[in-house]
Structure 1
Amino acid sequence: MSNLSRYEKLQKLRTLMKQFEIDAYIIPSSDPHMSEYPPSWYKRREFMTGFSGSEGVCLITDKCAMLYVDGRYTVEASSVAPPEFQVHEVKNSFYWHIVDLLKTSKFIGNLGIDMQVTSWRVYEAIIKYIKEAEETSNREFKVSLKLLETNLVDLIWTDRQSLMVSSNSIFIHGIEYTGETSVSKIRRILEIMQQEKSSILTICDISEIAWILNLRGSDVEYSPLFASFLILQRFNDEKNKPSTEIPYKIKFFVDKMKVTQEVLDYLYCEFCKNIQIFPIEDFIKELKSTVECATLSFSNDSMSKIWLPQSECNLAVYNAALETIKEKVDSTSYPCGSIYELFHDTKLSSHLLTKMSIVEYFRSKKNEVELDGMRSCHRYDGLALSRFLYYLDCSCMDDSIFNNKMTEWDLSEKLYRLREEQPLYKYPSFPTISSIGSNGAIIHYRPSEENSKVIQSTMYLCDSGGQYLTGTTDVTRTLFLFKNNGSTRPTLKQIDSFTRVLVGFIRLNKTIFPSGTTGGDLDIIARLSLWEVGLDYSHSTGHGVGSFLCVHEGPYGIYKTRDFTKSLSLEPGMVLSIEPGYYEVDNFGIRIENLVEVVAVETENDSNGQFLGFKPLTYAPIQKELIDLSILSYDEIEWLNWYHSKVLENIEPLIENDLEFLSWLVAKCAPITKELNRKPTPQTLYQ
């Protein structure tokens, strides 16, 4: 990425900070689209630190360099960050910790942020934390926010432009996979815009744009996305028109070099003259022009709102829209202050709609074609993973896996090759977490070919997934790699921890809940068995998953602390993960993960409205030799036996001419029973 050492990068950045009159500078993980996984040319934090995790924020001053990460990445960040950077695990917001550090160090000066990679939500949070800190600082702390249109890291990242050149084109994702035409999706969005009295919807989230247009690309590793922006403008000269008659215009901003003639023909066929394609660099200019046009209708109450979703629109987008409204409506009645003051001016902000994009909600509820695709790809994915588990068992039986040559990387490559054999498979949905022993405690560990551990007889955690044209998969299995002679056994702590993770996994899978329940309401169910003995895990219990899109899809999920998910209840058609875990640093890690679909459930009493539950999508055996049967209830054992019967039911028809593998799968899916008397030592299947 660069010939500069990380120390040299830091020194050059500090020189630039002085030139721009900045005393502290924030480098977030985000890009202009607020992506969790940005295109390679936006990975500025990774360029500076070497840390490649999905979340983390840097703060640079003339005296210190800090890297803030959450609990998933503490171990990894500490191992890869250069000595010039101090790694801190955050318990609250990243930006609360940043402001707290500045306050503690009695900082007085300019704090620089790049408007294009800062969301409005983050901007407001920073201002709030600064105000709170200044009120209790006795004038020893004073921060002036400096909003930048230039990213300082880009000025030292000399070969960054070369990463933006891609030979891979955008391609059409057919109706046989999406189940709905793009124009139908636009009509649904227009209907909501009409209800919200919105004339413009600005979409910066690249996964939303891919979903709307039924297009896919390759700008983001492991996700079929392409850098782009989209503006949907609604024209309405009559009230209460049906959505099929509402006139509209789509402005699509993209690298035109990646748009083939086939894609152009498709878009013009789908939308006729209602779509215009612009270079991606023209987005802000055209946004201003579109907003300027919309201001002419602000006197008409039927369409007075410009929809800029807070979670995905960056500060530069808000600045462009607010400044244009201010100039074109009545500049004398608006304040001349900061963008923050403009946003909070009652008259000016009345023209903005900042709620969650309706596209996120529509995308989260898969249609029947998408669900059928997810079910299909998960069966084949389950076949690949089951073959991998079979390979591990066979390699343990003949001890070939313990030859002091086989590594975590080798196992990840084996699983990759097994997935490649499956129909409609494209590539992994994220880097495979193939981790032996203590590496399992690094929640998002990624082995490399040059630096990965040799396989030993101990705990092994494998978290992997695939992108298929029909859907996206994500699955984790943890197992103990037994030697053939029985000389190694899991510890009592490993057995107890694994069983408690499994109990939480089963309990949540079994849960039936009323319509209107959020993922946050359910999170505790997966943790209770661990809490009973003082254990817990620092990551979420579950996340949404896209359909040949992102393996992490928001904003729904099963989170303990993310308040913004509490407003989005779980509904039929949503697909999400259930993945409790436990991690003991420098020892082992445990996680069990399946994807599930939310389904309607019939109950004995139907007078209290609709009830929902989870239906497994993932089918692969769970290692029974690690289970302390005395901890599981009879109901939990019954569910595990039911699940394994479904594994066999879904995978067996896909097995051709391989009786040994089939016999192994039948044995791994055989039901287990529980004796009545609880034993003082774990009752496991290897005893």
Structure 2
Amino acid sequence: MRTTLCLYTFNLDLEKQRGELRKACSKYGHIAQPARRVNTTMRLAAFRNLMTDETVLLTLPIQAYLITSSDEHQSIDIDGFEKRREYISGFSGSYGDAVVTLDKAALWTDGRYHLQADEQLDCNWLLFREGHRGVPSMSKWLREQLPAGSRVGLNPKIVSRYTWDALHGSLAAHGISLVALNVSLVDVIWPEEERPPRTVKEAFVYDIEYAGKNYTTKVEEVRSELRKVGADAMVVTALDEIAWMLNIRGRDVPNSPYLRSYVVLDMQKVFLYVNSSQLNGTVRSHLGIGSRIVKSDSVYLRDYDDIWTDLRTESQYYKKILVPSYCVYSEGASHAIYQHIDPERRLPMQSPIIYLKALKNQVEIKGMLEANVKDSAAVCDCFAYIEQRITDGENFTELDVVRILDEYRYEQRLSLGNSFRTVVAFGENSAYPNYEPTINTNTQIFTNSTIVLDSGGQYFGGTTDITRTLHFGSPSDDVKEAYTRVLSGMIQLSMLTFPSRLKMAMVDVVARSALWEVGMDYFQDTGHGVGSFLGVRESPIKINFNSKVSSEQTFKPGYFLSNEPGYYRDGQFGIKLENILQVVDKPWLNHGGHAFLGFKVITLVPFEPNLIKLELLSPHQRRWLNKYNEQIRQHVGAELKRQNRMHGFYWMMDKTKYIPENGSRSLIANLLLAVTSTAFICFVV
């Protein structure tokens, strides 16, 4: 029996390593396909025909083609017009790379999307689950599939230089070459009537009332950083960096206030490459466009596509031009951008703007705090409404709750909508870390399982990101224990005090220890940076014990980040909790020249008392929870009263009742204290 079980497990591991472990893809007979699955048979056939058509390629045939999730600016969230990987594969998650060869198709994605990808990819596709033992990287798989002399095609505008170099270095030694194609093959087979139109909306000025600094000051700050590294110019390709530096915002990207554009900045001028029809008179006046008085911060307008000719010619005027490289969630400039600048003039470096915008000024900090109070009030009022209606026996589906939660957020003053697509996941669906309900998967919400609500808003003052797990019935002991262990990790990270030189990766152990104690874990990052009316996922902040970049970064006062531990039991339920933290200085703790930092929680929404096993929380953690609830009553309670949202107010008051703080310390509390103390000692000594 044991031998049979071991053999079965071994076979499953082999299938996973080969990408063949797929739901409803048996080789024997026909099995009903998941509702979310997209049939890509005809798309792949048309695509493969192009791979050998030299009249389309304008070069020799290729044996494989890579499709990334990016647009030209390596954005995390992209316009529907740019979703080439989703069209060819059917997989709609925000992260994943697809490779099509003449006889196979494969997709790589991380732990957030393993379950979702398995549901959406049809049986034409292999699924490689990143993070699992023995699963090959894309480059290793290509080396195994392709003989020497093979050619792998890519669109150089939507592939970062970082990705290009990594692939080139791995494949070249095996005689496999990368080919930068002047045509995007997905664009050729994507019918115009099926492709969403490109979003082109008017830009607007982000007033100093919210930005805290004039764009002219920011431009000079960037120039100062360029001088430090010996550069006399920089090409800015990331949309969030352009929005921050010029104090302009747009609506060209879903859920993020960006204007599709490029910038070339030198020591005398600022060149903005954009669709000029998107700039009204107010924006032009703000940027000094067309002004008779020429200043070093005046902006010169260029057509969006002129970047490709100008880089070839005008970059010759510079000795060194900084070209952004990889940094955490920022891929850096595309391979095409690098191609258009002479190698001897390139200075590949992480963009200094990443670190300048991550460090919020006092006006931005105030705006982030106010935005999160307003947002927390909206969420409390919405949860009160939903809980009451479901308890009264009304029927709600996941999409109903998405619509309601979005509406409550839109009603808030200075709200510009969501910071990402709202996630409402009930029951089995909540076991998908990044599940997004669709018409095909929309599930009715009952009182017999958890419901995960992950959402965020964009406000003129800041960006929000919050997740809560609710249960409208009587949760099982397993569910309550999982919830409490996730909550325990969240509390421990929130309470942490640490030396300023501590690496980000190290704090992850605090958030995961309660789960690790009983063999639980999650594949996702524990935290990411959060922008100020910018991206909800912002570099350079990333919390993951297994991440190289996390082990190189440190926290700074003025950073904002998420704290989002979770647990997902496949086919049963999911738990996720998320708050935004502000990194704060603790000057009273300075000792021997060592500065100490801590966190301030700015998301203020109650946790679900019905899901908490108090015996798993230490007295210290219970005390923290009582103080947190007191902050909610003070700040969000006042906001709910100001908005006359009394239903939400009474719901909030009921969920933040005092809990007893006395009681014996559990084993988990001792373990967490020991881990925290060890990490503290290691980095102070």
| TM-score, normalised via structure 2 length | 0.85
Equivalence for 1:356: 350
The one-letter code matched in structure 2 to 1:115 is: P
In structure 2, relative to structure 1, the CA distance for the partners of 1:648 and 1:440 (3 Å cut) is same
Aligned twin of 2:481: 496
Please tell me the residue identity of whatever aligns with 1:8.
Answer: M
The question of 1:469 aligning with 2:460 is answered: yes
2:151 to 91, 103, 110: 110
Distance in 1 (alpha carbons) for counterparts of 2:579 and 2:101: 43
Q: Does the 8 Å CA contact 2:589/2:595 hold for their aligned counterparts?
A: no
Mapped contact 1:117–1:314 kept (Cα < 8 A) = yes
2:325 alignment partner in structure 1: 310
Instruction: Please give the alpha-carbon distance, in whole angstroms, between the structure 1 residues aligned to 2:433 and 2:198.
Output: 32
Output the CA distance in 1 between the equivalents of 2:666 and 2:364. 47
User: Do the aligned partners of 1:95 and 1:126 also contact (CA within 8 Å) in 2?
Assistant: no
1:430 to partner: Cα distance: 0.8
Q: Deviations over 1:126-146 (max 9, x none)?
A: 1232256x3xxxxxxx41222
Q: Answer whether contact 2:499 2:597 (CA < 8 A) is retained.
A: yes
In the alignment, which residue of structure 2 is the partner of 1:43? 83
Whether 1:52 aligns to 2:39 is no
Aligned to 1:445, which of 427, 431, 435? 435
For residue 117 of structure 1, give the secondary structure of its aligned residue in structure 2.
coil
Q: Which amino acid aligns with 2:310?
A: E
Cα distance in 1 between the residues matched to 2:312 and 2:369: 44
Q: CA deviation at 1:162?
A: 7.4
Conserved in 1, the CA contact under 8 Å of 2:463 and 2:534? yes
Aligned to 2:164: 123
User: Which of these residues, 196, 204, 217, is aligned with residue 250 of structure 2?
Assistant: 217
Query: For each residue in 1:286-342, what CA deviation from the matched residue of structure 2 results, as whole angstroms up to 9, or x when unmatched?
Result: 112221112xxxxxxxxx4221111211111111112xx5xxxxxxxxxxxxxxxxx
How far apart, in 1, do the equivalents of 2:134 and 2:168 lie?
13
**Matched residue, 1:88:** 128
The aligned residue for residue 415 of structure 2 is 425
Compared CA separation, residues 204 and 106, structure 1 to 2 (3 A): closer
- What is the aligned partner in structure 2 of residue 98 from structure 1? 138
Which amino acid in 2 is paired with 1:23? Q
User: 1:16 maps to what in 2?
Assistant: 50
| Structure 1 counterpart of 2:22 | none
> How far apart are residue 54 of structure 1 and its match?
1.1
Which of 113-122 and 577-586 deviates more? 113-122
Deviation at 1:59, TM superposition (A): 0.6
CA deviations 1:477-530 (Å, max 9, x no partner) are 012112xxxxxx222221111111111100000001111223212111101111
Distance 2:145 2:380 in 1: 54
1:171-201: CA deviations, max 9, x gaps? 1111111011111000111111111110111
1:420 maps to a residue whose letter is Y
Give the match's secondary structure for 1:662: helix
Equivalent residue of 1:477, what SS?
strand
Residue pairs, 1:176-215, within 5 angstroms:
176-215=209-248
Deviation at 1:7, TM superposition (A): 2.1
Moved more, 142-151 or 466-475: 142-151
The one-character-per-residue Cα deviations of 1:131-173 (angstroms, maximum 9, x if unpaired) are 56x3xxxxxxx41222223211112224289755545201111
Other-structure match for 1:345: none
Structure 1 residues 318 and 661: CA distance shift in structure 2, 3 A: closer
The residue that corresponds to 2:469 in the other structure is: 478
Q: Say if 2:561 and 2:582, in contact at 8 Å, map to a contact too.
A: yes
Match of 2:313 in 1: 289
**Residue 387 of structure 1: SS of its match in structure 2?**
helix
Matched residues in 1 for 2:622 and 2:506: separation? Answer: 25
**Paired residues of 2:39 and 2:90 also in contact (CA < 8 A):** no
SS at match of 1:187: helix
CA 1:364 to 1:22, structure 2 compared with 1: closer, same or farther past 3 Å?
same
Q: Which deviates the most, 534-543 or 33-42? A: 33-42
Task: List per-residue Cα deviations over 1:502-561 (Å, max 9, x = no partner).
Answer: 111000000011112232121111011111111110000001111111111112121233
Deviation for aligned residue 1:674: 4.9
Query: Residue in 1 aligned with 2:19?
Result: none
- The residue number in structure 2 matching 1:238 is none
Q: Distance in 1 between matches of 2:423 and 2:75?
A: 21
**Aligned residues with identical type, % of pairs:** 31
User: How far apart, CA to CA, are the structure 2 residues paired with 1:166 and 1:431?
Assistant: 17
Distance 2:226 2:666 in 1: 63
Q: Which shows bigger deviation, 155-164 or 666-675?
A: 155-164
1:575 shift after superposition: 0.8
Question: What amino acid maps onto 2:156 in structure 1?
Answer: M
Letter in 2 for 1:283: I
Choose from 558, 580, 597 the match for 1:573: 558
2:47·2:186 contact (CA, 8 Å) conserved in 1? yes
Cα distance in 2 for residues equivalent to 1:460 and 1:634: 28
Q: Pick one of 172, 181, 184 that aligns with 1:148.
A: 181
Contact 1:630–1:674 (Cα < 8 Å) also in 2: no
Displacement after TM superposition at 1:673 (Å): 1.1
2:91 aligned counterpart, secondary structure = coil
The answer (yes or no) to whether the contact 1:183–1:270 under 8 Å persists in 2 is no
Q: 1:448 to 1:92 in 2, by over 3 A?
A: closer
1: CA distance, partners of 2:113 / 2:545: 18
Task: Render the CA deviation track for 1:591-650: whole Å, top value 9, x for unaligned.
Answer: 110001111114455334221111011001001221111111110111111111101111
**Mapping of residues 314-325 of structure 1, within 5 Å:** 314-322=334-342
Q: Show the counterpart of 2:676.
A: none
CA distance in 1 between partners of 2:274 and 2:207 (Å): 20
Summarize the Cα distance change of 1:91–1:643 in structure 2 as closer, same or farther, 3 Å threshold: same
| AA aligned opposite 1:670 | K
1:253 is aligned with what amino acid?
Y
Contact 2:67/2:97 (CA < 8 Å) preserved in 1? Answer: yes
SS of match in other structure, 1:399: coil
Q: Distance in 2 between matches of 1:538 and 1:170?
A: 38
Distance in 2, Cα, partners of 1:231 & 1:417 = 39
Instruction: Output the amino acid matched with 1:110.
Output: R
* TM-superposed deviation, 1:119: 1.4
Which residue of 2 is the match for residue 662 of structure 1? 649
Q: Which amino acid aligns with 2:145?
A: S
CA distance in 1, matches of 2:88, 2:260: 22
Following the alignment from structure 1 to structure 2, what is the Cα–Cα distance between the partners of residues 494 and 48? 38
- The 2-side partners of 1:318 and 1:542 are apart by 31
What amino acid is aligned across from residue 7 of structure 1 in structure 2?
T
The answer for the alignment partner of 1:336 in structure 2 is none
The CA distance in 2 between the partners of 1:199 and 1:149, in whole Å, is: 30
Q: Is the 8 A contact 2:409 2:415 kept in 1?
A: yes
Decide whether the 8 Å contact of 2:604 with 2:632 is kept in 1. Answer: yes
Taking only aligned residues, the RMSD between alpha carbons, in angstroms, comes to 2.3
CA gap 1:118/1:51 in 2 versus in 1, 3 angstroms: same
Cα separation, 2, equivalents of 1:609 and 1:270: 51
Q: Is the 8 A contact 1:634 1:674 kept in 2?
A: yes
Aligned partner of 2:202 among 169, 172, 175:
169
Alignment partner, residue 77 of structure 1: 117
CA offsets 1:222-268 (integer angstroms, 9 cap, x no match): 1111211111112xxxxxxxxxxxxx111110111211122112211
- Give me the whole-angstrom Cα distance separating, in 1, the residues matched to 2:290 and 2:582: 31
SS in 2 for 1:536: coil
Output the CA distance in 2 between the equivalents of 1:396 and 1:602.
48
Give yes or no for contact 1:544–1:551 (8 Å, CA) kept in 2.
yes
Q: Distance in 2 between matches of 1:361 and 1:95?
A: 34
Taking the aligned partners of 1:658 and 1:209, their CA distance within structure 2 comes to: 38
Match of 1:343 in 2: none
SS of the equivalent of 1:564 reads coil
**Counterpart in 2 of 1:380?**
374
Any stretches of 5+ residues in structure 1 without a counterpart? Answer: 135-141, 235-247, 295-303, 326-347, 483-488, 681-687
**Secondary structure, counterpart of 1:596 in structure 2:** strand
Map of 1:648 onto structure 2: 633
The CA deviation string for residues 572-604 of structure 1, in whole angstroms up to 9 with x for no partner, is 111110000000111111011000111111445
Letter matched to residue 127 of structure 1: H
Q: Distance in 2 between matches of 1:158 and 1:12?
A: 12
Corresponding letter in the other structure for 2:383? L
